[in-house]
Amino acid sequence: MNNNILENLARASFEQTQERKLLLSEQELDQEVLKKINQFESEICPSKGFRFFQAIIQGKNDNSPALICECKKASPSKGVICDNYDPGFIARAYQEAKADAISVLCENSGFQGSVLDLKAVCQNVSIPVLRKDFITDPYQVKEAFVYGADAVLLIVSILDDQQLKVFLDLCLKLHLDALVECHDLSEIRKAIQTGARIIGVNNRNLKDFSVDCSNSLNLRNQVPDSILFVSESGFTSRTDIEIALANQVDAVLIGEALMKSDDKIQKIRELKGLVPSSLYEKKLNGLNLKKATPFIKLCGIQTKEDVDLINQYHPDRIGFILAPRSRRSVSIKQAQELSNFLDPTIEITAVFLKPDDEDCLQAVSFANRIQIHQPKDPEQICRLKQKIKIPVIEAFGIRSSQDLEAASRSVADEILLDASCPGSGKSFNWNLLKDYDRPFILAGGIDSSNIQQALSFNQIQGIDLASSIESMSPEGNIFKDQDKIETMMKLFKKEIQRIQDQAINPQTIKLQTNKYHRTNNGKYVS
Ligand SMILES: O=P(O)(O)OC[C@@H](O)[C@@H](O)c1c[nH]c2ccccc12
């Protein structure tokens, strides 16, 4: 993998470590280490240590893998996640909610963490604590020990074989557990060979920050049962946890979803399956799914009259088409002006075809999302995601299942699946969508005859209409037609109501339980 992001974080973490050495030299730290070892030995309980490993074994049960809950103020992809960050306080809430272990981000440049956060957490809880960091210096392992951590993260891709071995040996000496993070099969092999007892697979691709929970599940079978398997990142709901459970994951590591939650205790109980999660979410069982009611987007808004109609019928999103050659196009300036009249609770998507980065950057002033058809170059989506702070949608014209596969690999925040000739009012062959497992927005020829089918797809996030809400005037001009907007909005709302009513029918829920299980080749299936 492209290790740039990882390497930069590792370098930053290393530099932070060198700075701390100026305050406490390695020799002095070694003294502290010795003191603590002596303390251990004088204590009555000689088996102290390796508590993280034990906590996972004891924490997992038939209803849930063990939960490792993370304290994380910020992340390189999301910026600040938690404003009033008090790791000690958060850790106490985790413990109260019966988390099995706690992970504390200590890196400063990308995560705004510190070893002091680790210290604060260790002072506040009795459950095991993991130092989450980019460890490349033994000093960091010793520090973790002295501050009271029970485990450290070792990331295989930033360590050579020799270093990994040295660090694992040091952990063993200090009775610390090591969570050995791997990204692919070769790293897993290396970890196993070096003697890792706990292997973690990150669902977040650190090349582009995309999250795919199937990444760890697909690698599950490569780790023998004698080694604990931790699935890291991207877990947001009870459904995600159930899928991990069905794939014999021993523990899951959850950060962002908890940090964002106002009621952490309740969220952990929900993740553990101790309180029912939203019933509708259960109905839409799926990996990585945005478990919201599907939205409707009306696309190709061009005039003030259109905006008035939109405000009246209130779809969830609208689209301004900024591709110059479309018959529905508006300029960036027009879109900016029209957006001033739009009800602010309606989201705006700026739709581009082969855009320059510059145009997309300009659209940020009025749009909530950017949608790109045919990126200018293969890196554009990834680049834009880093440059602009709003979600990026990549649109795909679908002719075959290969096109769908390409879409599922997209690094965009959302994907939109359309006919190969967007805006033509034609649909592609929706039969191809059967078994498609990435959430998607559907576009192309959605009208009163097929809206019900469109909303019935398991992974549907939203639908996007243009042609079916338009008519042609006697002069041959195409315009947004109030009657048609009304018809489509009514049909949409009726269908959503029907889906929601169905979701609270207990039978539907029962059928969905344990939908995912493992096959021989380690792939999850539904
Ligand atoms: O916030 P999330 O998506 O729940 O992810 C948590 C954790 O897995 C993630 O922070 C992480 C996994 N591996 C890492 C390595 C370094 C820093 C951070 C991480």
- Band of residue 278 on the pLDDT scale cut at 50, 70, 90: very low
Specify the pLDDT at position 465: 97
Q: How many domains does the chain have?
A: 2
- Does the residue 470 lie in any domain? yes
User: What is the per-residue burial (b if ≥16 Cβ within 10 Å, else e) of 298-316?
Assistant: bbbbbeeebbebbeebebb
Q: Which residues, 6 or more positions from 32, have their beta carbon under 8 angstroms from its beta carbon?
A: 24, 142, 146
Regarding whether 234 and 85 lie in a shared domain, the answer is yes
Given a contact cutoff of 8 angstroms between Cβ atoms, the answer to whether 396 and 417 are in contact is yes
- Does the residue 282 lie in any domain? no
Regarding whether 310 and 262 lie in a shared domain, the answer is no
From 108, 233, 247, 339, active-site residue: 233
Specify the pLDDT at position 75: 94
- Does the residue 321 lie in any domain? yes
Per DSSP, which regions of 354-511 are E strands? Answer: 369-373, 392-397, 414-418, 440-443, 460-465, 470-472, 478-480
Regarding whether 202 and 307 lie in a shared domain, the answer is no
Task: Render 284-350 in DSSP notation, one character per residue.
Answer: T--TT---SPPEEEEE---SHHHHHHHHHH--SEEEEE--TTSTTB--HHHHHHHHTTS-TTSEEEE
Q: Which residues, 6 or more positions from 491, have their beta carbon under 8 angstroms from its beta carbon?
A: 448, 451, 452
Per-residue pLDDT tens for 32-43? Answer: 999 998 877 665
Instruction: List the domain range (segments joined by +) for residue 493.
Output: 295-502
Closest CA to 59 of 212, 272, 244: 272
Regarding whether 72 and 111 lie in a shared domain, the answer is yes
- Report the chain's terminal Cα–Cα distance, integer Å: 29
Please tell me if the CB atom of residue 240 comes closer than 6 angstroms to any atom of ligand 1: no
Regarding whether 441 and 397 lie in a shared domain, the answer is yes
Query: Domain holding 61: CATH number?
Result: 3.20.20.70
- Does the residue 346 lie in any domain? yes
Regarding whether 210 and 90 lie in a shared domain, the answer is yes
Query: Which of 276, 309, 340 finishes a domain?
Result: 276
Given a contact cutoff of 8 angstroms between Cβ atoms, the answer to whether 315 and 297 are in contact is yes
Regarding whether 488 and 357 lie in a shared domain, the answer is yes
Average pLDDT along the chain = 88
Query: How far, in Å, from the CA of 231 to the mean position of ligand 1?
Result: 10
The stretches of 340-379 forming alpha helices (DSSP H) are 357-363
Query: How far, in Å, from the CA of 148 to the mean position of ligand 1?
Result: 21
- Pocket test of ligand 1: the residue of 75, 158, 232 to mutate, having most ligand atoms within 8 Å of its CB, is 232
Query: How far, in Å, from the CA of 317 to the mean position of ligand 1?
Result: 31
Please tell me if the CB atom of residue 417 comes closer than 6 angstroms to any atom of ligand 1: no
- Does the residue 283 lie in any domain? no
Q: Which atom of ligand 1 is nearest to the CA of 70?
A: 6
Least confident of 113-117, 177-181, 185-189, 243-247: 243-247
The three-point CA angle 515-520-521 to 5° equals 100
- Does the residue 518 lie in any domain? no
The Cα 371–Cα 290 span in angstroms is 18
From 107, 143, 187, 232, active-site residue: 232
Specify the pLDDT at position 48: 65
Regarding whether 264 and 300 lie in a shared domain, the answer is no
Regarding whether 307 and 220 lie in a shared domain, the answer is no
- What is the 8-class DSSP label of residue 153? E
Regarding whether 167 and 46 lie in a shared domain, the answer is yes
Tokens standing for 368?
A: 């909530």
Per-residue pLDDT tens for 69-125? Answer: 999 999 998 999 998 999 999 999 999 999 999 999 999 999 999 999 999 999 999
The Cα 471–Cα 480 span in angstroms is 6
Please tell me if the CB atom of residue 232 comes closer than 6 angstroms to any atom of ligand 1: yes
Query: How far, in Å, from the CA of 333 to the mean position of ligand 1?
Result: 40
Regarding whether 324 and 213 lie in a shared domain, the answer is no
Task: Calculate the CA 13 to chain-centre distance.
Answer: 24
Q: How many CB atoms lie within 10 A of CB 358?
A: 8
Least confident of 157-171, 239-253, 317-331, 500-514: 500-514
Least confident of 61-70, 429-438, 507-516: 507-516
User: What is the 3 state secondary structure string of 104-118?
Assistant: EECCCCCCCCCHHHH
- Does the residue 395 lie in any domain? yes
Least confident of 349-358, 376-385, 475-484, 494-503: 494-503
Regarding whether 338 and 191 lie in a shared domain, the answer is no
Task: Tell me the residue type at 343.
Answer: D
The Cα 143–Cα 155 span in angstroms is 17
From 13, 70, 73, 427, active-site residue: 70
- Does the residue 526 lie in any domain? no
- Band of residue 388 on the pLDDT scale cut at 50, 70, 90: confident
Least confident of 44-53, 251-260, 457-466, 490-499: 44-53
Specify the pLDDT at position 385: 82
The Cα 310–Cα 42 span in angstroms is 74
Establish whether 291 is a catalytic residue.
no
Q: Which residues pair with 315 in a beta bridge?
A: none
Q: Which atom of ligand 1 is nearest to the CA of 254?
A: 4
